[in-house]
Amino acid sequence: MLNVGKIEEGFVLDHIKAGKSLELYHHLGLDKLDCTVAIIKNARSNAMGKKDILKVECNINTLNLDVLAFVDPDITINVIKNGEIIEKKSLPLPKEVKGIIRCTNPRCISTIEQELPQIFYLADDHRAIYRCRYCDAAYNPNGITG
């Protein structure tokens, strides 16, 4: 059995889809922070089969949590103080994501003007569809759709 010690102050990201923890690690900028991070991949889960878990010992307010709901809306955040869970929260899909994904429409101004920020807005929250702020192309992990 794997034993990862408890943290005194920070947060635990639970119910991450298996294999997504490293993506979240980089999107959250944890590689640039000087804090303790435990990445648990493919942990057994009764509800999900397998899941990933991130344990981070730092102030939760230093991170942009919008990326969490965008990458995996089923993530649960457990806020830890003095070694105890003081709050559990789920995040709604962010209304806008900036600098997380890129528009792949070759005619989009953000593709031509590299210094423009990549901004996508939530067009349909029921189907989690995001559209480019500049050209209105829909984001799809496999490419642009109408």
* Three-state DSSP class for residue 62: helix
- Number of helices (H) and strands (E) in the chain: give both, helices first: 3, 8
Question: Which carries the bigger pLDDT value, residue 72 or residue 88?
Answer: 88
For the chain, give the mean pLDDT: 85
Rounded Cα distance, 28 and 125, in Å: 22
Q: What is the pLDDT of residues 8-17, one digit of tens each?
A: 888 899 888 8
Over 90: is that where the pLDDT of 108 sits? yes
The residue behind tokens 């989690």 is 128
Domain ranges of the chain: 10-90, 96-132
Over 50: is that where the pLDDT of 4 sits? yes
pLDDT at 145: 46
Among 3.40.50.2000, 3.40.50.970, 3.30.70.100, 3.30.70.140, name the CATH number for the domain at 10-90.
3.30.70.140
